[in-house]
Amino acid sequence: MLDARKDKRKEVIRMRDIGKKIWAEIINQIYPDLPVSWEGDVWQAGQLMRPSAFIEADLVSEKIHTGQSIRMVEDVRLVFHYEYERIDEQERGEPIPFDLAPFFMYLRQKRYCVASKLFETMLVIEPPRTQEKRDRIEVMFRYSYLLHVPKPTAEDGTERMKINDFYVEVNGKEVKA
């Protein structure tokens, strides 16, 4: 039983970035030409293209939902960086605000339940909060999804067999229970 839990935990750790990948898929559906990144080092160093989107997700909780699924709850921050208007080669002007109306309309049309075609996972999203900065807008919200964890396998790679038949000893004889 302990090995099965360890196997599930390893799978969850391996699939940890699936939420970020699904958000990248959603953003690319709505804004096909917008570069998307979740590399924190690149973002903090300011080495990003403009306009672009940055995804930062934090795990809030993970709970076993069924024998083969785990409910993941995460907070996400989507940062949409504005492009600057160009005055000349040397100087850049004011930031050009990014139109998020298609993004919010997409979420409302899906009733805040967005399915990923690539990962076959549905995100259940809470209503977003926004925070506007000088050169970007940040959209933050909590969402949850079920993460499928495959059945544990035996050491040789075959599926572990279920115990379907139980036997008990009655008056010195083995009887199927």
- Which CATH number is 2-152's, of 3.40.140, 2.30.30, 3.30.2000, 1.10.4100? 3.30.2000
Is the pTM above the cut of 0.75? no
Question: Which tops the pLDDT comparison, 137 or 45?
Answer: 137
Nearest CA to 53 out of 75, 24, 26, 79 is that of 79
Query: What is the per-residue pLDDT for 2?
Result: 47
Tell me which H or E stretch contains 158: none
pLDDT, tens digit, 9 for 90 and up, residues 106-142? 999 999 999 998 888 899 999 999 999 888 899 999 9
169: left (phi over 0), alpha (psi -120 to 50) or beta: beta
